[in-house]
Each structure stands twice: as C-alpha cells, then as structure tokens.
Homo-oligomer: A and B are copies of this chain.
C-alpha cells in the first residue's frame, strides 16, 4: 500500500501549489497530507475537493471537533482505514480525549448493530399481518 507518484510541492504546477499553500495556511501546518498529493495528479479534482472540504469543515453551527468526530463515524462505518487515521488525528488535535473516542466508537457500533436488526424485524412483523 505504498503511496508513490504523489505530487510533491517542488514538482507541482502553479495551480497545484496555490491549493497546497491554502491547505497549509488554513490548517496552520507546514505539511500537506498524502491524500492531497495523490489527487493532485488531477488538478481540477484537487481544487474542487479542497474547496468543498474547506467550506464544509469550517466551524459553523457545529464546531470543528464535532465535525471531525462525525467524519470518523462515517469512516469507521465504511471501513476506510486511511480516512479513520487521518480524521481521528484531526479530531484529537481538536480536543478529542481517549474517553470521548471510546464513547464515539460505542455509539458507532450500536448504530451499526441496530441498523441491521430493524430490517429483519420489520419484515417479520409485516409478513405475519392479516
């Protein structure tokens, strides 16, 4: 699962560099995640995805920590290991403690369990109705 063919800053076009600069400025960091370097091979996708993520993840009615935990909840449900690692790190940076993470996982597990059950239950009730 090696990540090769990433577009590094040095080799990036002006258009790609502008996005990288905005990512680093917005996140107050001096590095860009491999996710962005990988999709940078298609600059249109890079720009569109970053603009959407930036707009969606900015604190608004929900704060940054809540948004990152929601992201983790979806990623765990979808079994996307890369997404889990990256957004759990962001959630921790935004203040998620070990206890919060444990409760987050417990809710996600329970939500996946009860998602599966009702379908079967519903059919059972229906099929026996007069």
Footprint of B on A, CB under 8 Å? 1-6, 35, 38-39, 41-42, 44-45, 48-49, 51-53, 55-57, 60-62, 66-67, 69-85, 87-89, 97-130
Contact = CB atoms under 8 A, between A and B. Distances in A.
Given A66-B66, A73-B74, A38 B121 contact: yes
A97 B74 CA distance: 21
Contact of A70 (B5, B48, B107, B121): B107
A116 B123 contact: no
A120 B118 CA distance: 18
Given A108-B116, A117-B108, A121-B38, A4 B126 contact: yes
Contact of A110 (B6, B53, B60, B130): B53
Contact of A125 (B6, B87, B97): B6
A79 B79 contact: yes
